[in-house]
Amino acid sequence: MIPRSREEIRDIIFDALGAIAPEVDPAMIVPDRSLREQVDIDSFDFLNFIIRLHETLGIDIPEKDYAELFTLDSAIEYLVGRCATHL
């Protein structure tokens, strides 16, 4: 896959979140606090969030890695790494 910059990944995350919770202002998201808490998404929304990331980035996100997407910071870190290594 193509390596992606942190900024690109952040925008992709915001797009995916925006599709699920359009009322959320990305600027208000505290980067080191739980995303699910701030955006009020349930497991169904979260699965759709993962599916969108999977489709946009072309990477597989195994269920055991879901915890890596807990906060905005950790999600960016994880996805940047995943895109760099995923073949």
Determine the interface stretch with another protein among 2-10, 26-34, 61-69, 77-85 (rule: CB under 8 A): 61-69
d(CA 17, CA 45): 9
Decide if residue 44 touches another protein (CB under 8 A). Answer: yes
Does residue 62 bind another protein (CB under 8 A)? Answer: yes
Smallest separation (angstroms) from another protein to the CB of 55: 9
Residue 75 belongs to what H/E stretch? helix 72-85
Residue 54 is a binding residue for another protein (CB under 8 A): yes
Q: Which residues pair with 78 in a beta bridge?
A: none
Would you count residue 1 as binding another protein (CB under 8 A)? no
Kindly state whether residue 21 participates in binding another protein, applying the rule CB under 8 A: yes
Do 9 and 42 touch, CB atoms closer than 8 A? Answer: no
What's the CA gap between 31 and 72, in Å, rounded?
Answer: 5
Distance of alpha carbon 41 from alpha carbon 86, whole angstroms: 27
Chain residues that interact with another protein, rule: CB under 8 A: 20-23, 40, 42-45, 47, 50-51, 54, 60-64
